[in-house]
């Protein structure tokens, strides 16, 4: 068979075909391998693209979340900003109110301090006047109590009155005379101002015995209550103007009875007894008196002045107490206002 050319050709043809098949298979395998590799690369590339898309999607989602979070944060910031602006407006309003109250408190504090200063000035002036009035009143009181405005013999009798039963006092002690009529009463009564009021004639004898035992030559006027004055008991303009009191009231009333008060500028005759503010006048007997020719000058004026000073002193003391309380109150207000200003400032 090996010698048959046909067989040889067929054999070689088969071998060729087999070789060709093997070659094609290898090539196919190579192509398949290349295709598989290409497909794998394409798949990897596709997977890479899908991964990148997923990454981009995740990134987009992350960015959307961040934007949403930023938007929410921004909204929160806007809300907080609105709250802060509202708080700022409230604080500004409160500050304006505080500043207004502060200015009002400062103005009130200035006014309070000015008032306190004025009150202290007034208080100092009143205290000065009170000291002056008290000194003058004290001086007059000392003089009156010591009997320095009395004739010496009357003053000595006054100092011994506890040893002499029935001696009541000097007539001037039993009357209060308006300041504008002191000269008139002094002039009209004259030495009778220093008359000593006694109980009865037994008291008169005791005083007479006392006087006879002394070396003084001066005399005394005694006004016994029993039997009492023999003249009119009361009445008349001068009597009505004078306040009589105490043991000597009946003698004061009788001595001033039916005495008219005349205007000195109209110096002309008047019926009955009369007296002018300067002391000029006429007595019951018709004797005309010009000015104050007899004793008693200034005696009632000093007593009236002393009464006025005592009255003024009482009024001043009351005013001083009121002002002291007012000063304390205003200064207390000033301290409270100062504390308020310090707290608001």
Tens of pLDDT, residue by residue over 120-160, are 888 888 778 878 877 776 665 655 554 566 888 888 898 88
Pairing of strands 274-275, 260-261: parallel
- pLDDT tens per residue across span 169-202: 999 889 998 888 888 888 888 888 889 999 999 9
Contact between 229 and 257 (Cβ < 8 Å): no
Q: Rounded to a whole number, what is the largest CA-CA distance in the chain?
A: 223
* Residue predicted with more confidence, 30 or 247: 247
Q: For the whole model, what pTM was predicted?
A: 0.52
Question: Where does 160-268 have alpha helices with state H?
Answer: 182-189, 201-212, 237-241, 249-255
**In the predicted model, what is the mean pLDDT of the chain?**
81
Distance, in Å, from the CA atom of 102 to the CA atom of 52, rounded to the nearest integer, reads: 70
Predicted pLDDT of residue 140: 57
What letter does residue 198 receive in the DSSP assignment? Answer: E
pLDDT over 70 (residue 342): yes
Give the chain's radius of gyration (CA, Å): 66
Whether the CB-CB separation of 176 and 245 falls below 8 Å is answered with yes
- Give the pLDDT band of residue 215 (cuts 50, 70, 90): confident
Q: What is the pLDDT at residue 266?
A: 65
Which residues are bridge partners to 185 per DSSP? none
Choose the weakest-confidence range: 206-220, 291-305, 310-324: 291-305
Cβ atoms 177, 298 nearer than 8 A: no
Give the model confidence (pLDDT) of 278-297 as tens digits. 778 888 888 888 876 655 55
Residue 45: what pLDDT?
A: 82
User: pLDDT digit string (tens) for 79-114?
Assistant: 888 889 888 888 888 888 878 877 887 888 788 788
């Amino acid at each position: 068979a090996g010698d048959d050319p046909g067989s040889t050709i067929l054999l070689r043809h088969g071998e060729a075909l087999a070789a060709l098949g093997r070659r094609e298979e290898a090539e196919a395998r190579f192509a398949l391998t290349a295709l598989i590799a290409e497909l794998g690369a394409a798949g990897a590339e596709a997977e890479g693209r899908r991964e990148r898309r997923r990454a981009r999607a995740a990134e987009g989602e992350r960015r959307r979340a961040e934007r949403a979070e930023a938007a929410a944060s921004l909204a929160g910031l806007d809300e907080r900003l609105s709250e802060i602006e509202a708080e700022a407006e409230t604080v500004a309003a409160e500050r304006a109110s505080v500043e207004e109250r502060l200015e009002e408190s400062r103005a009130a504090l200035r006014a309070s301090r000015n008032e306190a200063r004025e009150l202290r000035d007034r208080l100092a002036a009143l205290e000065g006047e009170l000291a002056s009035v008290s000194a003058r009143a004290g001086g007059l009181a000392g003089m009156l109590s010591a009997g320095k405005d009395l004739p010496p013999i009357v003053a000595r009798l006054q100092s011994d009155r506890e040893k002499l039963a029935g001696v009541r006092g000097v007539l001037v002690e039993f009357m209060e005379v308006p300041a504008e009529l002191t000269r008139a009463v002094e002039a009209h009564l004259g030495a009778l101002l220093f008359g000593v009021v006694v109980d009865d004639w037994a008291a008169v004898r005791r005083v007479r015995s006392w006087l006879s035992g002394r070396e003084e030559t001066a005399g005394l006027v005694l006004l016994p209550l029993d039997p009492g004055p023999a003249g009119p008991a009361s009445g008349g303009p001068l009597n009505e103007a004078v306040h009589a009191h105490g043991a000597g009231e009946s003698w004061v009333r009788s001595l001033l009875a039916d005495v008219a008060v005349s205007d000195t500028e109209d110096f002309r005759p008047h019926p009955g007894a009369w007296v002018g503010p300067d002391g000029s006048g006429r007595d019951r007997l018709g004797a005309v008196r010009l000015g104050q020719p007899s004793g008693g000058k200034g005696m009632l004026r000093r007593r009236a002045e002393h009464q006025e000073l005592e009255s003024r002193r009482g009024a001043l003391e009351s005013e001083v107490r009121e002002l002291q309380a007012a000063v304390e109150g205003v200064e207390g207000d000033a301290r409270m206002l100062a504390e308020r200003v310090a707290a608001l400032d």
